[in-house]
């Protein structure tokens, strides 16, 4: 696979695997000028990667549709406007691959993060960013419209007395509360698995905040957009309360989740591409005390 880095190969395989068999075979013919006959989609994929000069050339091919790249970025936790043109998505994907460290991408946040807590100068923002990358990748993987293998979701990621507060504001406002790891886990799962929503967090400074209390609770607040297929339905703001588990080494579990969802109709003409957090530091401080 000359010309492609390990990160580019992994990302391109991910995108190619979401193509239809017909499109994949057709793309293989184009890339090889019909000089190579392949027997199946696996061979087609390997051949396409082998014959592509670089990642940009392959991403720009007609059969690699804009929507496939958009969904790939959403899975990787990259916020893009639903109106982004294909060339913008290609540019952002190449940036992601050039900046991504393979080990970081593979390690779940729950094991990466706890190591840092005992160190001098523990930075809750580093924990917040890694936690959000892990959490939303895990939650989005449950969405059947992405056509990927769901990662291991379940009550094991929550404390037994976990609490979820869910406020949704579309035409009317509705608030629900769920208690216990099992119920909290099932309700969040229903958002992606049943309702087929995709969460795209904004991990830039204005979309992410973190706060650590002296008692070991870390608050993570994040804003982002919610999508269904390629339609942007609105924005969300979410606060997580995380506590490190003393029994399982290097493992953070979720103590509570406050999730606020606002549909497009409740937003008016507000720009939703990269939403900012509306929570003030004093509001977060109150939750931390």
The 3 state secondary structure assigned to 158-188 is EEEEEEEEEEEECCCEEEEEEECHHHHHHHH
Percent of the chain with pLDDT over 70: 81
Beta strand pairing status for 217-228 and 208-212?
antiparallel
Residue tagged 């991910």 (tokens): 14
Say which residues have a Cβ less than 8 Å from residue 83's Cβ, sequence separation at least 6: none
pLDDT above 50: residue 106: no
The predicted model gives 200-205 an average pLDDT of 88
Give pLDDT tens digits for 25-43: 999 999 988 888 888 888 8
Query: Of 196 and 269, which is predicted with more confidence?
Result: 196
Q: Where are the domains of the chain?
A: 6-102, 109-288
d(CA 24, CA 40): 10
Structure tokens at 248: 């399982």
pLDDT for 82: 78
The predicted model gives 138-151 an average pLDDT of 88
Query: Of 99 and 110, which is predicted with more confidence?
Result: 99
Element (H, E) at 91: helix 86-99
DSSP letter for each residue of 25-68? HHHHHHHHTT-S--SSHHHHHHHHHHH-S-HHHHHTSTTS-HHH
State the pTM of this model.
Answer: 0.58
Angle at 271 between CA 269 and CA 276, to 5 degrees: 130
Average pLDDT over all residues of the chain: 82
pLDDT above 60: residue 66: yes
Domain range 109-288, CATH class: alpha beta
Cβ atoms 78, 96 nearer than 8 A: yes
Rg, Å, the chain Cα set: 20
């Amino acid at each position: 696979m000359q010309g492609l880095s390990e990160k580019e190969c992994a990302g391109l395989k991910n995108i190619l695997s979401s193509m239809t068999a017909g499109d994949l075979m057709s793309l293989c013919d184009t890339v090889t000028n019909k000089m190579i006959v392949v027997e199946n989609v696996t061979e087609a994929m390997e051949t396409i990667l082998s014959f592509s000069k670089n990642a940009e050339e392959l991403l720009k091919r007609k059969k690699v549709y804009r929507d496939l790249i958009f969904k790939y970025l959403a899975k990787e936790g990259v916020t893009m406007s639903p109106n982004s043109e294909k060339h913008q998505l290609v540019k952002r994907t190449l940036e992601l691959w050039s900046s991504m460290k393979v080990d970081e991408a593979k390690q779940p946040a729950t094991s990466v993060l706890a190591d840092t807590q005992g160190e001098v100068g523990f930075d809750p923002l580093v924990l917040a960013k890694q936690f959000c990358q892990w959490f939303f990748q895990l939650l989005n993987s449950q969405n059947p419209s992405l056509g990927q293998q769901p990662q291991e979701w379940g009550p094991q990621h929550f404390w037994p007395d976990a609490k979820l507060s869910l406020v949704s504001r579309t035409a009317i406002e509705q608030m629900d509360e769920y208690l216990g790891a099992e119920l909290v886990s099932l309700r969040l799962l229903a958002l992606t698995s049943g309702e087929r929503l995709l969460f795209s967090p904004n991990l830039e400074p204005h979309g992410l905040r973190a706060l650590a209390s002296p008692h070991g609770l870390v608050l993570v607040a994040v804003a982002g957009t919610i999508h269904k297929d390629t339609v942007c339905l609105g924005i969300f703001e979410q606060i997580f309360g995380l506590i490190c588990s003393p029994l399982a080494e290097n493992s953070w579990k979720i103590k509570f989740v406050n999730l606020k969802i606002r549909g497009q109709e409740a937003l008016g003409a507000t720009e939703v591409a990269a939403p900012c957090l509306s929570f003030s530091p004093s509001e977060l401080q109150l939750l931390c005390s």
